[in-house]
Chain A
């Protein structure tokens, strides 16, 4: 086995990588590459989606059962654990590849179904249609009858996968597969053919903008750092993905870690950095593990280290685990954290490109930005710039979560509308509920309503409707969501995650949260409570303005966005809370009033016995009553009543 691996290594290094520009027509070489890409297989091959999302859905058991199946049946087969292909909603996903046939993808394959699915697959039969996802075409292989191509699936059909290209397809722990699919060629080409400034030029011309949220032109940033003179420069990958509802960085690292390493290596060369850090949250253990494996392999192949491929270029990477503070995603706070200090932002200027990590010129980009680099170098700036809108080029990965039918990851060309993503690709709102809004850009972003669903996604258009690209989380809300509650959730998150350094963010977000709490709290007969509530509400907008205007870092400057955005589009909901003391969506428990329908109440006493505050009175077999002043709105009575006698008014 080791011998085989070494042979493959020599082949990949000598025939594939060193020959980076020559797309070989040599049949022997093509044959070998096809084998490494699992296109020519001698024995059955099963892929199990083992990203964190898959494992959460039960892929671990699925994997165990697959192994058990082959052991029991004494079938010689290979099993590969892949990352997530993006359709998290239908995990666990298992692909079966039989020699000479297309790769067949099954979904919702729980441990119990494995035997059935495999039994049938080996007979070229299909299981329940709910478990069929589609087939992946393999050149020269026979198709499965009656099964659509995976690429025809609505979820994938309009995607353009650059960053996610290999995710869910390849074995993330095997560098051979990455190289066989064209990986690291761009890097070797970059350091062999191009000067650093040429790389900056290409990236600048491609129109790539930072995918971490700010959208600063990546090439321009690199150029700044390139022009700095310093004995040491640093490159940092920001993988501290902390937005609620964002998981694209995790998926990329778990599914295709070499893509990130290659992008970083090219970036480091472009600015003249020999040392790079990957700042990744400790809550991503699987991503860290796969990254460590990938880094080790890249070192083995001489892609990381000293004098890479004899070009004299050095490149080293170190992983720095973040301890979970959201603010450490802010670049200056992140650098403090890497330096071993408290993760609080520093004032800018000086900008990191001038004085960053350890006061040296530093570039920070996020995972997705680096994920685009190798393809830009491979296909050229024009190719990349041909996708997208005038303002924003290329593609963007979005993480879909919330009340959407198909949660998961999509990579779409810039300019796609949100309606297309939500309703054409992701299957619309779950349970046929009515769409209300989608929160885009995490807690710093804003919400987009029905009226704006047809805007074409790019940096500028999202800003124009009070939202922002952010890192690309799309949290979908339906009619059952209360927008005041949503704002309160995000405000609570930001308030907890504020670093506490600057006054407007530290004190201001707490006050904003308290105001939101006051309008969703239980109505009281006290005069001062009402007065305080109104006083608070009157301050919301002015407070938001000052927090936005004066906060030290991006976290604070965008902190009021959830409030401002919901206030802008759902003012009526706020008014219902403030004036009528009602939550139209019925979410805010404290504003719910429960009544017992005397006609339906049988006097069974269950509710009065379960009531935690003894707020329900009544004699046996006679209708009961709720003492409103005592009721805390917990809803226990509503849940326990067997006669549907308790109503929310």
Chain B
């Protein structure tokens, strides 16, 4: 049902049940927001979106107030503007004011609002809060002084990720957001996914930067610096350079990485293909040998930590395969090092990831082989953008280059790892081949694609019916696991990605991307798949070669040593 409401003396159409903000946005009337999270229950904390309700002579928050027939709204009256401006000034009165040093300089909602509302003098002054900078986590840095307590991180952590490791502590102007007992983030149940960073309007949350080490290694002649990038990076890096969202800049990125001093550039998609070889084999092994089922994918380090903390009883169900990042690291420092005659300790392996949890994963003790870490540094998409800008590479005027070989060839099955459902689709393609010797008639397993929180499919291979599920946004994992435990649902194979949408929307990606931009990245991956000459992992020529020359066979002795791992139960406050 729709009716008319009066906004700024103009009649606009509004739908029963929607909020004033929804109606305004639909009609192109912009009202600033801070704590608002699209599609989530309004919290009403920031008061930035207030509008004047003429009939009641009160200011109401447009994000939480439903439209009423015949209501009369002023969105930019003097009273409203004064209120919004004062709110920003109040926030600034308790803000460190170190924009020039801030990681979010020029990409900060508080800065934008101060500019928008024409804050030009320090009208309100006061004592500022000082809290400890929390750098204890391997992935995420928290600077509570920059926090404006909008609560978006808290809600994302609870409602989207189902983790709830952070919440409000203390009262009044002493309020801070922190973990249990106000300890450091590393002691909490934080899974390092970084979705809180994506939600943060200011620089209160950011990734633990590995830039300084990488920079010093790039200038160290004794080190061979090797870059390898995740499948989703090539379709998301473009936005860091104000290019069209979803544009695939793989070749440009290869060239740029060499320009900034990378000695070798590899594509982690190769390792994704390798993962599929191992994981599909493991699945078949589990199904045929009565081993714990369902098997969960293990590509996502946030999901791994989530399982270790919340569902340690499911650890035997996790695939023992390392993630593509770690497989890549292991292969670089063994197979490739031997091949080119380099000592593993002289190789500095830098992984470029859409993810902050990868930083945690890289430093897990299980990811070290005889004292040599598989991966030495992890840069997020954002840090990569920063690095490229630092070296003055003009991404708009640069010739495309190919990745180095070996470890640079890919199948598009590995490429779609970047999207939710991609690992599942790639695994099905190869598992089918392993069991039948044939290829799937239609390689596109569309049932596992898209943004639905929990996706299910049945795949018939010979006489075997494999029931699979794909989950992303870990709150959905809680739901799925509960259904499994109650016996309501049964599966053979489940793909879990922590971030909603998968790696294309990872916690290390460009901040400020719209929903449409995320969709474009997803679309781009499937376009690459459609146009790829090799669409299945087992046909990647370098994969074939690596098994022939080095690994012998999936799940073999060498694989076990280099490509598989184990997990541990973690006792944390939940």
Let me know if B172 and A504 touch, CB within 8 A. Answer: no
A146 at the interface (CB under 8 A from B): no
Let me know if B87 and A510 touch, CB within 8 A. Answer: no
Known: A342-B167, A511-B90. A499 touches B47 (CB 8 A): no
A407 CB to closest chain B CB, in angstroms? 30
Mark each residue of chain A from 528 to 561: 1 if its CB lies under 8 Å from any CB of chain B, else 0.
0000100110010011011001111000000000
> Which of A342, A349, A502, A507 contacts B45, CB < 8 Å?
A502
> Which of A349, A506, A543 contacts B172, CB < 8 Å?
A506
> Which of A325, A545, A551 contacts B171, CB < 8 Å?
A325
Let me know if B83 and A549 touch, CB within 8 A. Answer: yes
Chain A binder among B123-131, B185-193, B509-517 = B123-131
Q: Which residues of B contact A499 (CB under 8 A)?
A: 171-172, 175
Please, which residue of chain B has its CB at the minimum distance from the CB of A557? B58
B174 at the interface (CB under 8 A from A): yes
Known: A347-B44, A510-B126. A495 touches B172 (CB 8 A): yes
> For the complex, what is the distance from the CA of A484 to the CA of B246, rounded to whole Å?
61
> Which of A502, A535, A549 contacts B79, CB < 8 Å?
A549
> Which of B47, B124, B149 contacts A550, CB < 8 Å?
B47
> For the complex, what is the distance from the CA of A639 to the CA of B164, rounded to whole Å?
56
Mark each residue of chain B from 22 to 47: 1 if its CB lies under 8 Å from any CB of chain A, else 0.
00000000000000000000111111
Q: Which residues of B contact A496 (CB under 8 A)?
A: 171-172
Q: Which residues of A contact B50 (CB under 8 A)?
A: 549-550
B92 CB to closest chain A CB, in angstroms? 9
> For the complex, what is the distance from the CA of A347 to the CA of B58, rounded to whole Å?
14
Q: Which residues of B contact A498 (CB under 8 A)?
A: 171-173
> For the complex, what is the distance from the CA of A498 to the CA of B43, rounded to whole Å?
16
B261 at the interface (CB under 8 A from A): no
Known: A347-B42, A549-B79, A550-B59. A500 touches B64 (CB 8 A): no
Let me know if A546 and B172 touch, CB within 8 A. Answer: no
A75 CB to closest chain B CB, in angstroms? 54
Residue among A327, A344, A550 with most chain B CB within 10 A: A550
Q: Which residues of B contact A510 (CB under 8 A)?
A: 94, 126-127, 172-173
Q: Is the interface of A mostly helix, strand, loop or mixed?
A: helix
Let me know if B172 and A497 touch, CB within 8 A. Answer: yes
Please, which residue of chain A has its CB at the minimum distance from the CB of B66? A349
B86 at the interface (CB under 8 A from A): yes
A503 at the interface (CB under 8 A from B): yes
Please, which residue of chain B has its CB at the minimum distance from the CB of A494? B172
> For the complex, what is the distance from the CA of A536 to the CA of B127, rounded to whole Å?
13
Mark each residue of chain A from 65 to 97: 1 if its CB lies under 8 Å from any CB of chain B, else 0.
000000000000000000000000000000000
Question: Count of A residues near B, CB < 8 Å?
Answer: 36
Let me know if A539 and B79 touch, CB within 8 A. Answer: no
> Which of B48, B59, B79, B170 contacts A500, CB < 8 Å?
B170
Mark each residue of chain B from 168 to 212: 1 if its CB lies under 8 Å from any CB of chain A, else 0.
101111110000000000000000000000000000000000000
Let me know if A502 and B125 touch, CB within 8 A. Answer: no
Let me know if A504 and B168 touch, CB within 8 A. Answer: no
A520 at the interface (CB under 8 A from B): no
> For the complex, what is the distance from the CA of A557 to the CA of B50, rounded to whole Å?
14
Please, which residue of chain A has its CB at the minimum distance from the CB of B52? A549
> For the complex, what is the distance from the CA of A504 to the CA of B47, rounded to whole Å?
8
Please, which residue of chain B has its CB at the minimum distance from the CB of A535? B125
| Residues of chain B from 113 to 159 with CB closer than 8 A to chain A in the complex | 123-127, 148-149, 151
A160 at the interface (CB under 8 A from B): no
Let me know if A552 and B148 touch, CB within 8 A. Answer: no
Known: A532-B125, A543-B86. A509 touches B44 (CB 8 A): no
Let me know if A551 and B47 touch, CB within 8 A. Answer: yes
Let me know if A546 and B82 touch, CB within 8 A. Answer: yes
Known: A504-B47, A550-B47. A344 touches B168 (CB 8 A): yes
> Which of B42, B79, B171, B173 contacts A507, CB < 8 Å?
B173
A514 at the interface (CB under 8 A from B): yes
Q: Which residues of B contact A543 (CB under 8 A)?
A: 86, 124
Known: A500-B168, A511-B126. A506 touches B149 (CB 8 A): yes
Let me know if B83 and A546 touch, CB within 8 A. Answer: yes
Let me know if A503 and B47 touch, CB within 8 A. Answer: yes
A419 at the interface (CB under 8 A from B): no
Let me know if A504 and B124 touch, CB within 8 A. Answer: no
A339 CB to closest chain B CB, in angstroms? 14
> For the complex, what is the distance from the CA of A542 to the CA of B168, rounded to whole Å?
29
Let me know if B94 and A507 touch, CB within 8 A. Answer: yes
B490 at the interface (CB under 8 A from A): no
A508 at the interface (CB under 8 A from B): yes
Let me know if B90 and A514 touch, CB within 8 A. Answer: no
Please, which residue of chain A has its CB at the minimum distance from the CB of B150? A503
Residue among B58, B127, B175 with most chain A CB within 10 A: B175
Q: Which residues of A contact B66 (CB under 8 A)?
A: 349
> Which of B64, B87, B149 contacts A546, CB < 8 Å?
B87
A575 CB to closest chain B CB, in angstroms? 22
Please, which residue of chain A has its CB at the minimum distance from the CB of B64? A347
B91 at the interface (CB under 8 A from A): yes
A513 CB to closest chain B CB, in angstroms? 9
Q: Which residues of B contact A551 (CB under 8 A)?
A: 47
Let me know if A504 and B44 touch, CB within 8 A. Answer: no
A220 at the interface (CB under 8 A from B): no
Q: Which residues of B contact A539 (CB under 8 A)?
A: 123-124
> For the complex, what is the distance from the CA of A440 to the CA of B358, rounded to whole Å?
59
Mark each residue of chain A from 331 to 347: 1 if its CB lies under 8 Å from any CB of chain B, else 0.
00000000000101011
Known: A349-B66, A507-B93, A539-B124. A497 touches B171 (CB 8 A): yes
Known: A325-B171, A498-B171, A508-B90. A347 touches B43 (CB 8 A): yes
B224 at the interface (CB under 8 A from A): no
> For the complex, what is the distance from the CA of A362 to the CA of B94, rounded to whole Å?
38
Let me know if A504 and B87 touch, CB within 8 A. Answer: yes
A181 at the interface (CB under 8 A from B): no
Let me know if B173 and A500 touch, CB within 8 A. Answer: yes
B325 at the interface (CB under 8 A from A): no
Q: Which residues of A contact B45 (CB under 8 A)?
A: 501-503, 552
> For the complex, what is the distance from the CA of A446 to the CA of B335, rounded to whole Å?
79
Known: A342-B168, A347-B44. A536 touches B125 (CB 8 A): yes
Given contacts A498-B172, A510-B173, A552-B47, 16 further A-B contacts (CB under 8 A): A496-B172, A497-B171, A498-B171, A500-B149, A501-B45, A501-B168, A504-B47, A504-B86, A506-B173, A507-B91, A507-B93, A507-B94, A514-B127, A545-B82, A549-B58, A549-B83
Interface on A for B, CB 8 Å cutoff? 325, 327, 342, 344, 346-347, 349, 495-504, 506-511, 514, 532, 535-536, 539, 542-543, 545-546, 549-552
12 sampled A-B residue pairs with Cβ under 8 A:
A347-B43, A497-B171, A498-B171, A500-B174, A503-B46, A503-B90, A506-B173, A506-B175, A507-B91, A507-B94, A511-B90, A543-B124
Closest 5 CB pairs of A and B: A500-B175, A347-B44, A347-B64, A507-B90, A498-B172
